[in-house]
Chain A
Amino acid sequence: MPVEQLAVFLENKSGRLAEITKVIADSGVNIRAMSVADTADYGILRLIVDQVATARAALKENGFTVSAADVLAVEVPDRVGGLARILKIIEEAGLNVEYMYAFVNKSGDSAVMIFRFEQMEAAIAALQKAGCHLLSGDEVCGM
């Protein structure tokens, strides 16, 4: 059920983000979602791509430091209060969200949010119990 996400370390130097996206594009991989968390000195770029292994190899070959982690892609009904409901489920289950970001494309009529939890198994159980749809890696790539 979890989706594999890549994270890349980048110094806050102009043009680094563009270089990363170019490396990925040149390897024939599509970026499905991305987010950057940054401090004054450095940033962490998180990516959902359609070919994880290829992208990872291309980035490493170009000298980037890459790590992979499991995240959940959660379908969020595209109506008022849709996200609020999911956050409430998470809160009531006592789960800690490390970070979250939105998917660019939609899954049918729904938006998709990426969540990174500290306790992955508990998060899957709680979300599924509440009837949320978690997208598989294949579904994410097909969007």
Chain B
Amino acid sequence: MYWQKDFECMPEADIRALQLNRLQKTLERVATHVPFYRNAFTAGKIDVKAVKSLDDIRRFPFTCKQDLRNNYPYGLFAVPLREVVRVHSSSGTTGIATVVGYTRNDIVTWSDLVARLLCGAGVTADDMVQIAFGYGLFTGGFGLHYGCERLGASVIPISSGNTRRQIQIMQDFKTTALVCTPSYALKLADVMMDMGINPNGLSLRVGLFGGEPWSEAMRQELNQRLGIRATDNYGLSEVMGPGVAWECEECNGQHINEDHFLVELLHPETLQPVAPGEIGELVITTLTREAFPVIRYRSRDLARLLPEPCSCGRTFRRITRLLGRSDDMLIIKGVNVFPTQIESTLFAVDGTEPHYRLIVDRENNEDKLTVMVEVNESIFSDSMKTQKALIDTIKERLASDLGVGVTVKLVEEKTLERFDGKASVVIDNRKF
């Protein structure tokens, strides 16, 4: 089911032409209305009128989170405040918050882009959508809310927290679609079990999860435990909020809303484009935002581009699920290694959500990567031959997936410390 078929299924050449046209307008607008960009372009001797192809974007400087902080609160707005109908803000765990603004048109566009993701997940006007994202300065709650109303689905704006009440309402209101972070969905499943509620007795059928990286293993677990189809979507408040990219009914990669965003995948160190299919940082330029356009925003989020066309018929290119943050990248013997790569390799061998720790040492001026993996019943064998073969398999797969040799150590179950959320699984003992 498409929401805006004319755009979602637009021929590739038309998309690129539309992107170029909108890019040129956006660049001219920020050069005129936003001193930060005007100064940066002048300093780099870049003429926005000379932009003739999408590749010309590479001549422009990046925008980082710190630039947003430096211009707190309204320094990067491209319209007068009287045209702004909404502001959102992300607190950020470190330092000053960032503020983004929306004109009336921005809100309409945002609602349409979220309606696209809802349609892609199979949500219709008949659905009862429970939005358990926080409402407030965070973009998650309101973003999904406006999209649902645009689509015509019924919204339960319950916001986050109070898990037992969430479940009660889910039961009483016959919720069919759940919006929250994947980790909160798991918590809901746990609490349902404590309350003696069988999820199969609920009306729930689809989950729209986002806001944090998650794995295929977690998707399978959520599908099974909640009896739903769990779908992924991606967005970040600095460029809009949810609705930047989203999974269609194929659940195989997230279509980028390319008519509204120009997304580059760049190597986090060299900042050069990665080869198609390689992991890169998503660098995003907005193409239609009025109040808060951003040029080449470094998201720090990592993904791969999926260049093959999707069988759903949409022509927007797809990215994989988020594979981690570029801040977590390790350089081992000059090779870039991302913890999430290790996670997916382990999942492929093991079939369960792996618990692991990466230890980096430097011995005789050479980097040494050790992966400690917790044993569990599915990979433990009473036969030493089988056990050694499994460790060798993990080692070989990791070496081939990462491009760097590793040592694999099995450790006893539940001996690696558990962290809440996105804590680092890396212990780097190297001294530089």
Give A residues with C-beta under 8 Å from B: 5, 7, 9-11, 37, 39, 41-42, 44, 46, 63-67, 69, 98-99, 116
Contact = CB atoms under 8 A, between A and B. Distances in A.
Contact of B377 (A39, A66, A98): A66
A21 to B, nearest CB: 16
B412 A99 contact: no
| Count class of interface residues, chain B | 10 to 19
A9 B410 contact: yes
Main secondary structure of the interface of B (DSSP, over half): loop
B31 to A, nearest CB: 60
B328 to A, nearest CB: 26
Contacts of A99: 383-384
Given A9-B375, A9-B380, A11-B411, 14 more contacts: A9-B413, A11-B415, A37-B384, A42-B410, A42-B411, A44-B381, A63-B412, A64-B412, A66-B377, A67-B380, A69-B382, A98-B383, A99-B383, A116-B383
Interface string B385-422: 10110000000000000000000011111110000000
B159 interface: no
A10 B377 CA distance: 13
B384 A65 contact: no
A58 B156 CA distance: 46
B376 interface: yes
Contacts of A5: 382
A82 to B, nearest CB: 26
A11 B381 contact: no
Contacts of A98: 383, 385
Contacts of B385: 98
Contacts of A46: 382
Tell me which of A7, A9, A39 has the highest count of chain B C-beta atoms within 10 A of its own C-beta: A9
Nearest to B379: A65
Nearest to B414: A63
A10 B384 CA distance: 12
A80 to B, nearest CB: 30
